[in-house]
Amino acid sequence: MALKKDNSLKAVLAAIIGNSMVTAAKFVGWAISFSPSMLAESIHSLADTLNQVLLFIGIRHGSGKPSPIYPWGKGQARYVWNLVSALGIFFIGFGVTTYHGISELLLGGTAPIPTSPIPVFILIFSILVETYTLYIAYVSVNNARGETPLWDYIRSGDDPTGVAVLLEDSIAVFGVTLALIGYIVSSATGSHLPDAIASIIIGCLLGAMAVILAVANGRILIGASAGTEREDEIREFVESYPSVERVVNLRTAVLAPARLRVSIEVEFHGGILINRQQIAQDAERIRDGEDPTYILVETAERMVRTVGREINRLEADLHKEFPEVAMIDLEVN
What is the per-residue pLDDT across 174-205, written as a single tens digit (0 to 9) for each? 888 887 887 788 778 777 788 778 778 888 88
User: Tell me, what's the pLDDT at 6?
Assistant: 61
User: Tell me, what's the pLDDT at 247?
Assistant: 92
Domain ranges across the chain: 3-221, 228-332
With beta carbons less than 8 A apart as the criterion, state whether 252 and 261 touch: yes
With beta carbons less than 8 A apart as the criterion, state whether 247 and 238 touch: yes
Predicted confidence band of residue 7 (pLDDT cuts 50, 70, 90): low
CB atoms within 10 A of CB 99: 14
CA distance 37 to 183: 7
Q: Residue 331's beta-bridge partner residues?
A: 265
Torsional class of 260: left (φ above 0), alpha (ψ -120 to 50), beta (otherwise): beta
Longest alpha-carbon distance in the chain: 111
User: Tell me, what's the pLDDT at 250?
Assistant: 94
CA distance 197 to 101: 7
CA distance 81 to 118: 37
pLDDT, tens digit, for every residue of 243-286?
888 999 999 999 888 889 999 999 988 777 777 787 788 788 88
Is pLDDT at 115 greater than 50 in this prediction? yes
Is the alpha carbon torsion for 173, 175, 178, 180 positive or negative?
negative
Nearest CA to 103 out of 40, 182, 18 is that of 40
Q: What average pLDDT does the chain have?
A: 83
User: Tell me, what's the pLDDT at 320?
Assistant: 92
Query: Mean of the pLDDT values across residues 81-97?
Result: 84
Report, at the CATH architecture level, how domain 228-332 is classified: 2-Layer Sandwich (3.30)
Strands 244-256 and 325-332: unpaired
Most confident of 60-74, 214-228, 271-285, 311-325: 311-325
CA distance 40 to 196: 9
Query: What is the enclosing helix (H) or strand (E) of 96?
Result: none
Domain 3-221 matches domain 228-332 at the CATH topology level:
no
Of all residues in the chain, what percent carry a pLDDT higher than 90? 11
Of all residues in the chain, what percent carry a pLDDT higher than 70? 93
**Measuring CA to CA, how many Å separate 211 from each of 86, 205, 208?**
7, 10, 5
Strand order in the sheet with 259-268: 244-256, 259-268, 325-332
pLDDT, tens digit, for every residue of 13-38?
888 898 888 888 888 888 877 766 67
Q: Where are the alpha helices (DSSP H) in the chain?
A: 7-33, 36-62, 77-88, 97-107, 118-145, 150-156, 160-189, 193-221, 228-239, 270-273, 276-287, 292-321
CATH number, domain 3-221: 1.20.1510
Is pLDDT at 232 greater than 90 in this prediction? yes
Nearest CA to 111 out of 178, 176, 181, 38 is that of 38
pLDDT, tens digit, for every residue of 282-320?
788 888 888 888 888 888 888 888 888 888 999 999 999
Q: How many residues does the chain have?
A: 333
With beta carbons less than 8 A apart as the criterion, state whether 44 and 58 touch: no
pTM, entire model: 0.74
What torsion do the CA atoms of 117, 119, 122, 127 make, to the nearest 10 degrees?
A: -100
Most confident of 103-112, 136-145, 246-255: 246-255
With beta carbons less than 8 A apart as the criterion, state whether 137 and 18 touch: no
Nearest CA to 213 out of 278, 251, 151, 164 is that of 164
CA distance 266 to 314: 11
Dihedrals φ, ψ of 157, to 5°? -70, 170
